[in-house]
Structure 1
Amino acid sequence: MKLPGHDAIARQADEHLVTHRVKLPRKVVERPIRQVAKRLSLALLVLVATAFIVYADHDGYNDNSDGSVDLLDAFYYATVTLSTTGYGDITPVSDAARLTNIFVITPLRVLFLIILVGTTLEVLTERTREEWRLNRWRSTLRDHTVVVGFGTKGRSAIQTVCATGLRKEQVVVVDPSSKVIDAATADGYAGVIGDATRSEVLKRAEVQRARQIIIATQRDDTAVLVTLTARQLNRGAKIVAAVREEENAPLLQQSGADAVITSASAAGRLLGLSVLSPAAGMVMEDLIQQGSGLDMVERPVVKAEVGRGPRETDDLVVSVVRGHRVLGYDDPAIGSLQLTDRLITIVRATHDAKVTPDVRPIPRD
Structure 2
Amino acid sequence: MERRKPRLAQAPALLRQKSPLSVGAQLSIRAGLLLLLLAFIIAVHWFERDAFVDQVDGEMSFADVIYFTMISATTTGYGDIVPVTERARLFDALMVTPARIFFILILAGTAYSFVIKRSWDKWIMRRLQKTLEKHIVVAGYGTSGSEAVSELIARGEDPRKIVVIDQNPEALAKAEQLGCIVLQADATRDATMEQVRLRQAATMIISAGRDDTSILICLTARHLCPNLPISLAVRAEDNEFPARAAGATTVINPTSFAGLLLAGSAHGAGISDYLADLASATGRVRLHERTIEKFEVGKSLSEVAIGLGVRILRGGRTIGFWEEEAKKLEEGDRIIEIIPGFAFPPCKVG
* TM superposition score category, shorter chain reference: 0.5 to 0.7
The structure-2 alpha-carbon separation of the partners of 1:17 and 1:289, relative to structure 1 and needing over 3 Å to count, comes to farther
| Structure 1 residue 316 corresponds to structure 2 residue 308 | yes
TM-score (norm 2): 0.64
The structure-2 alpha-carbon separation of the partners of 1:81 and 1:88, relative to structure 1 and needing over 3 Å to count, comes to farther
Aligned counterpart for 2:239 among listed residues 234, 240, 248: 248
The CA distance in 2 between the partners of 1:227 and 1:259, in whole Å, is: 11
Kindly indicate whether the alpha-carbon contact (under 8 Å) linking 1:175 and 1:196 is maintained by their aligned counterparts in 2.
yes
Question: Once the 2 structures are TM-superposed, how far is the Cα of residue 168 of structure 1 from its aligned partner?
Answer: 2.1
Question: Once the two structures are superposed, what CA deviation does each residue of 1:61-110 show, in whole Å capped at 9, x if it has no partner?
Answer: xxx9xxxxxxxxxxxxxxx89962477558xxxxxxxxxxxxxxxxxxxx
Kindly indicate whether the alpha-carbon contact (under 8 Å) linking 1:175 and 1:192 is maintained by their aligned counterparts in 2.
yes
Give the SS at the match of 1:347. strand
Question: Once the 2 structures are TM-superposed, how far is the Cα of residue 243 of structure 1 from its aligned partner?
Answer: 0.8
Kindly indicate whether the alpha-carbon contact (under 8 Å) linking 2:156 and 2:348 is maintained by their aligned counterparts in 1.
no
Corresponding residue for residue 322 of structure 2: 330
Question: Once the 2 structures are TM-superposed, how far is the Cα of residue 306 of structure 1 from its aligned partner?
Answer: 5.0
Summarize the alignment of residues 242-321 of structure 1 with structure 2, pairs less than 5 Å apart: 242-302=233-293, 307-312=298-303, 313=305, 315-321=307-313
Kindly indicate whether the alpha-carbon contact (under 8 Å) linking 2:203 and 2:349 is maintained by their aligned counterparts in 1.
no
| Structure 1 residue 226 corresponds to structure 2 residue 208 | no
Corresponding residue for residue 192 of structure 1: 183
The CA distance in 2 between the partners of 1:83 and 1:318, in whole Å, is: 79
The structure-2 alpha-carbon separation of the partners of 1:247 and 1:120, relative to structure 1 and needing over 3 Å to count, comes to closer
Provide the aligned length of Structure 1 versus Structure 2.
269
The structure-2 alpha-carbon separation of the partners of 1:302 and 1:247, relative to structure 1 and needing over 3 Å to count, comes to same
1:184 maps to a residue whose letter is A
Summarize the alignment of residues 1-365 of structure 1 with structure 2, pairs less than 5 Å apart: 84-85=76-77, 124-302=115-293, 307-312=298-303, 313=305, 315-338=307-330, 340-350=332-342, 353-355=344-346, 359-360=347-348
Which structure is higher in RCO with an 8 Å CA cutoff and minimum separation 6?
A: 1
Moved >6 Å (runs of 4+): 15-20, 80-83
The structure-2 alpha-carbon separation of the partners of 1:360 and 1:206, relative to structure 1 and needing over 3 Å to count, comes to closer
The structure-2 alpha-carbon separation of the partners of 1:127 and 1:195, relative to structure 1 and needing over 3 Å to count, comes to closer
Question: Once the 2 structures are TM-superposed, how far is the Cα of residue 17 of structure 1 from its aligned partner?
Answer: 9.4
Kindly indicate whether the alpha-carbon contact (under 8 Å) linking 1:153 and 1:216 is maintained by their aligned counterparts in 2.
yes
Question: Once the 2 structures are TM-superposed, how far is the Cα of residue 314 of structure 1 from its aligned partner?
Answer: 5.2
The structure-2 alpha-carbon separation of the partners of 1:81 and 1:337, relative to structure 1 and needing over 3 Å to count, comes to closer
Structure 1 vs Structure 2 CA RMSD: 3.8
Question: Once the 2 structures are TM-superposed, how far is the Cα of residue 121 of structure 1 from its aligned partner?
Answer: 6.5
Give the SS at the match of 1:333. helix
Question: Once the 2 structures are TM-superposed, how far is the Cα of residue 265 of structure 1 from its aligned partner?
Answer: 0.8
The CA distance in 2 between the partners of 1:236 and 1:354, in whole Å, is: 27
Corresponding residue for residue 91 of structure 2: none
Question: Once the 2 structures are TM-superposed, how far is the Cα of residue 304 of structure 1 from its aligned partner?
Answer: 6.8
The CA distance in 2 between the partners of 1:167 and 1:343, in whole Å, is: 24
1:285 maps to a residue whose letter is A
Question: Once the 2 structures are TM-superposed, how far is the Cα of residue 172 of structure 1 from its aligned partner?
Answer: 1.6
Give the SS at the match of 1:192. strand
1:215 maps to a residue whose letter is I
The CA distance in 2 between the partners of 1:168 and 1:301, in whole Å, is: 27
The structure-2 alpha-carbon separation of the partners of 1:225 and 1:17, relative to structure 1 and needing over 3 Å to count, comes to farther
Which residues of structure 2 form unaligned runs of 5+? Answer: 1-17, 24-51, 53-71, 85-100
Give the SS at the match of 2:322. coil
Give the SS at the match of 2:209. coil
Question: Once the 2 structures are TM-superposed, how far is the Cα of residue 257 of structure 1 from its aligned partner?
Answer: 1.1
Corresponding residue for residue 39 of structure 1: none
TM-score (norm 1): 0.62
Kindly indicate whether the alpha-carbon contact (under 8 Å) linking 1:17 and 1:176 is maintained by their aligned counterparts in 2.
no
Kindly indicate whether the alpha-carbon contact (under 8 Å) linking 1:17 and 1:194 is maintained by their aligned counterparts in 2.
no
Question: Once the 2 structures are TM-superposed, how far is the Cα of residue 216 of structure 1 from its aligned partner?
Answer: 0.8
Kindly indicate whether the alpha-carbon contact (under 8 Å) linking 1:147 and 1:174 is maintained by their aligned counterparts in 2.
yes
